[in-house]
Amino acid sequence: MSTAQHAEPAVNTPPAPGPKETDGRAVQRTLTLRVLARPDVGVFLGAAAVYVFFLISAPPVRDAGSMANILYQSSTIGIMALPVALLMIGGEFDLSAGVAVITSALTASMLSYQLTANVWVGVIAALVVSLGIGFLNGWLVVKTGLPSFLVTLGSFLILQGVNLAVTKLVTGNVATDDISDMDGFDQARKLFASSFDIGGVQVKITIFWWLLFAAIATWVLLRTRYGNWTFAVGGNKDSSRAVGVPVAFTKISLFMLVGFGAWFVGMHQLFSFSTVQSGEGVGQELIYISAAVIGGCLLTGGAGSAIGPVFGAFMFGMVQQGIVYAGWNPDWFKAFLGVMLLGAVLINLWVQRTATGR
Amino acid sequence: MHRNHRVAVLTATVLTGTLLAAGCSSSSGGKKSEEGNAAVSAGKATTPRMTVAMVTHASPGDTFWDLVRKGAQAAAAKDNIKLVYSSDPNAGNQASLVQNAIDQKVAGIALTAAKPAAMKDVVAKATAAGIPVVGFNSGVGDWKKLGMLEYFGQDENIAGQAFGRRLNQLGAKHALCVIQEQGQVALEARCAGLRKGFSGKTDTLYVNGTDMPSVKSTITAKLKQDSSIDQVVTLGAPIALTAVQSLSDAGSKAKLATFDLNKDLVKAVQDGTVEFAVDQQPYLQGYLAVDSLWLYKTNGNFSGGSTAPVLTGPAFIDKTNVDTVAKFAANGTR
């Protein structure tokens, strides 16, 4: 019962059918089970468990400033985990998501610098490039019918090479030039990488963007036709085509959404660090996918939510920073991270099994 | 139809972008503010053309290794050498690249022995094939055993100790050594040396060097967890520049110093946000490695009498001498 209260804010569960026709006890039991059966409740409990664990074992976590730092780390993962999750619900993968972030940042930075243009020119060009990469990925997947795992593995490698080669070609170095003294930088920094003072705590703007995007994604998934299409193409492509779902459009636009996410995170990195190293971003794609999977998205598509990956990303950020706040022996860092994540996923699985398994 | 529409939109956007680019120029910074910088060049040797392979354990896109490569290219251009550069962070793959160079019958090989055991067989094969092998950057403890001709680089452990002693002079009490790649031999050796030379307490922190936001928040977290830290030590220039932001996020008064340089870091030393940097002169390492092979091939010279390494560092760069380095760093060669 107490679990039910905990899980209740897990949004948008349509209210249980009127409690009038049965006695209280039976209804509450089914309600508990119904709530637990939601894909995002397991991850919510897992995230809560990790949070409580570190609250006890790492005193600095209790400080509000530390929480802002943990949320910041989570937001940079979470903003990308959202479109990656939507794409997974739609039945596809994007392995190029990690390096695409850097591609976007490099494009904006080098274009503005080389043309000595207002940085907004670079920002818009980067958006076009990012959406274009998403479009190409999606178009190739739809047209060839190849698994997106293979197609995007290809684009992952291509982008990795292009990032390095083009940067070297254009700048002569492997990192871009500092653009922090150029026109428009401060403006763009406000939008992508500023922080606010809330009750004496510096809170990064990415956290707000993350939650806003999550809210929009939730609404789209559950309340719009596009959301239905997403679930449908991920569940069964052929039957959804048969009932008139525009499969190609849905899939390609989902890939383009990942492109949008990559652009946003890329701009955040550019405007908070002023330069970009061309070799970064490799390996991040797996973290985004993990956050989505921990958040209850199936690897096979057709199921998941937008709120689940929010908690998934939070769990990642919490564990990563929590280990540092707890001051544990850093040699074990990666091992701790793995054990904590596995534990959290197991809780998630167990909750879903108990809720749906009878 | 659908697609045509999309292409049209795309073209329109690109066009708008280009037009904007023409109109919206930046009044500060950017390419236009660059001073004309002449590329390093000198005459060219008349010795017969030869091929030299350089095989490193660099991960692609690292600013440090870019300098090594530029140094090597400068020497190759002078010495009428065709330079074949390749790299792979995985020791097994690096060994295959060396084998590849042997198969190409190159005139000489310059390699980094970050994992010496993995290089043993290929170095022996190269020597058997009559190809001289020069070590640089990594493997200062093993180059003789491996049968290399000479070695150019910095002893990471000694550099770490020198770093620690410098911190003693500056009065630091509690240092945090930030490693951006867990288990990397050279980086671990720096922190170990630091611990030896530094009389205060030294903590280690691992961060994920391929994800800057994560580097930033992890250092912030550590500074909050232990407020007695008064000195942050980073092992690469980009990490140092990110740590600057962590320090302000955490509201920490700790000082910051780093291993390795790049042009943005030079600015940070100039304005005082970074106290000092220890430079091992990657450009020099690359240059000497290639140039020494040329000397050996054309005149039989080699440095250090096969017993002592040639040290290229540690050189301390701080406010007093940063200006002499600054103009070279701006060229991207120091």
Q: Is residue A175 predicted with pLDDT exceeding 80?
A: yes
Mean of pLDDT values over A175-201: 90
CB nearest B249 (choices: A168, A175, A202): A202
Nearest chain B Cα distance for residue A333, angstroms: 8
Contact B220 A121 (CB under 8 A): no
Q: What integer is the mean pLDDT of A103-117?
A: 94
Q: How far apart are CA A139 and CA A251, in angstroms?
A: 8
Answer yes or no: do A324 and B205 touch at CB < 8 A: yes
Q: What is the DSSP string of B151-192?
A: EEE--HHHHHHHHHHHHHHHT--EEEEEESSTT-HHHHHHHH
Could you tell me the pTM of the whole model? 0.81
| pLDDT at res. A2 | 38
Mean pLDDT of B145-161: 92
Q: Which residue has the higher pLDDT, B247 or B91?
A: B247
Q: Is A173–B249 a contact, with Cβ atoms under 8 angstroms apart?
A: no
Neighbours of A196 (CB within 10 A): 12
Share of chain A above pLDDT 70, in %: 89
Give the per-residue pLDDT at A14.
45
> What pLDDT is attached to residue B5?
66
* Identity of the amino acid at B316: F
**pLDDT over 70, % of chain B:** 90
Res. B213: pLDDT tops 70 = yes
* Among the ranges given (A144-158, B9-23, B66-80), the one the predictor scored with the smallest mean pLDDT: B9-23
pLDDT for res A41: 78
pLDDT at residue number A252: 96
A334–B182: do the CB atoms touch at under 8 Å? yes
The pLDDT mean for chain B works out to 87
Write down the pLDDT at residue A10.
Answer: 41
Q: State phi, psi for B146 to the nearest 5 degrees.
A: -75, -15
Query: Which has the minimum average pLDDT: A155-164, A212-221, A228-237, B2-11?
Result: B2-11
Q: Please say if the pLDDT value at position A20 is more than 60.
A: no
Q: What is the mean pLDDT of residues A122-143?
A: 96
**pLDDT level of residue B220 (50, 70, 90 thresholds):** very high
Residue whose entry in the numeric block shows the structure tokens 């409990």: A45
For residue A355, the distance in angstroms to the closest alpha carbon of chain B comes to: 35
Instruction: Give the count of Cβ contacts less than 8 A between chain A and B.
Output: 176
Interval A60-80: pLDDT, tens? 888 888 899 999 999 999 999
Q: What is the pLDDT of residue A23?
A: 52
pLDDT, tens digit, 9 for 90 and up, residues A210-253: 999 999 999 999 999 999 999 999 988 888 888 889 999 999 99
* Nearest-angstrom CA–CA distance, A128 and A112: 14
Nearest-Cα distance to chain A for B273, in Å, is: 15
Looking at beta carbons, which pairs linking A192-201 to residues 24 or more positions away fall under 8 Å?
A: A192/A264, A192/A267, A192/A268, A192/A270, A192/A271, A192/A272, A193/A267, A193/A268, A193/A271, A193/A272, A199/A64, A200/A64, A201/A64, A201/A65, A201/A68
Residue B173 clears pLDDT 80, i.e. is over it? yes
d(CA A97, CA A81): 10
Query: Per-residue DSSP letters for B21-58?
Result: HHH-B-SSSSGGGPPP-PPP------SPPEEEEEEE-P
Q: Which residue has the tokens 């092992």?
A: B235
Residue B38 has pLDDT above 70, yes or no: no
Question: Looking at beta carbons, which residues of chain B come within 8 Å of A172?
Answer: 332
> Taking a C-beta distance cutoff of 8 angstroms, is the pair A121, A111 a contact?
yes
> What is the per-residue pLDDT for B186?
82
A308: tokens are: 């689940």
Is pLDDT at A22 greater than 70 in this prediction? no
Q: Which segment of A18-22, A144-148, A196-200, B132-136 scores lowest on mean pLDDT? A: A18-22
Buried b (16+ CB within 10 A) or exposed e, A257-274: bbbbbbbbbbbbbbbbbb
Residues A266 and A270: their CA atoms lie apart, in Å, by: 6
Q: To the nearest whole percent, how much of chain B has pLDDT over 90?
A: 58
Query: What is residue B12's predicted lDDT score, i.e. its pLDDT?
Result: 63
At B140, the pLDDT band (50, 70, 90 cuts) reads confident
What pLDDT was estimated at residue A1?
Answer: 35
Distance between CA atoms of residues A51 and A43, nearest Å:
12
- Name the range with the highest mean pLDDT among A197-206, B38-47, B159-168: B159-168
Paired residues of B86 in beta bridges: B55
- Give residue A27's pLDDT: 52
Strand arrangement of the beta sheet that strand B315-318 belongs to: B201-206, B174-179, B231-234, B255-259, B276-279, B315-318
Across chain A, mean pLDDT equals 86
Q: By CA distance, what is B15's nearest residue in A?
A: A125
State the Cα–Cα distance between residues A167 and A170, nearest whole angstrom: 5
The region of weakest confidence among A74-78, A170-174, A283-287, B42-46 is B42-46
Average pLDDT over residues B313-317: 90
> How many angstroms away from the CA of B214 is the closest CA of chain A?
6
pLDDT of B44 reads 82
Query: What is the pLDDT, as a whole number, of residue A36?
Result: 67
Instruction: Over range B225-235, report the average pLDDT.
Output: 94
Per-residue model confidence (pLDDT) at position A256:
97
**Is there a contact between A69 and B217 if contact means CB atoms under 8 Å apart?**
yes
How large is the average pLDDT for residues B271-298? Answer: 94
Write out chain A residues lying below 8 Å of B14, CB-based. 125, 128
Max avg pLDDT among A13-17, B207-211, B225-229: B225-229
Angstrom CA distances, A78 to A287, A317, A339, B207, stand at 10, 9, 21, 19
- Please indicate whether, in this complex, the C-beta atoms of A178 and B62 are within 8 angstroms of each other: no
What confidence score (pLDDT) does residue A17 get?
46
Residue A113 to residue B30, Cβ atoms within 8 A: yes
| Averaged pLDDT for residues A179-208 | 91
User: Which chain A residues are closer than 8 Å to B1 by Cβ?
Assistant: none
Check whether A11 has a pLDDT greater than 50.
Answer: no
- Only one residue has tokens 């770490």, namely B160
**pLDDT computed for residue B9 by the predictor:** 63
* Chain B interface, best mutation among A170, A250, A324, A336, by max B CB count within 10 A: A324
pLDDT at residue A7 greater than cutoff 70: no
Please tell me the least confidently modeled range out of A52-61, B55-64, B283-292: B55-64
Question: What is the chain A residue with the closest CA to B332?
Answer: A173
What is the nearest CA distance from A9 to chain B, expressed in angstroms?
29
pLDDT tens digits along A249-294: 999 999 999 999 999 999 999 999 888 888 888 889 999 998 998 8
In this prediction, residue B29 has a pLDDT band, given cuts at 50, 70 and 90, of: confident
Is the predicted pLDDT of residue A332 greater than 90, yes or no?
no
- Point out the least confidently predicted range of A315-324, A335-344, B232-241, B266-275: A335-344
Q: Among B10, B31, B239, B248, which would you mutate to test the A interface (most chain A Cβ atoms within 10 Å of its Cβ)? A: B31
Q: How far is CA A336 from CA A61, A71, A333, A340, B190, in A?
A: 17, 20, 5, 6, 25
Number of H helices, E strands in chain A: 15, 2
Task: Choose among A77, A100, A99: nearest CA to A260.
Answer: A100
For residue range A293-311, list pLDDT tens digits in order: 888 888 888 888 899 999 9
Query: Is residue A26 pLDDT above 60, yes or no?
Result: no
> Which residues of chain B make contact with A128, given a CB cutoff of 8 A?
10, 13-14, 17
pLDDT score, position B14: 61
What's the pLDDT band for B18 if we cut at 50, 70, 90?
Answer: low
Top residue of A71, A99, A118, A197 to mutate, by most chain B CBs within 10 Å, is A118
Nearest CA among A337, A308, A333 for reference residue A218: A308
* Beta-carbon count within 10 A of B298 CB: 13
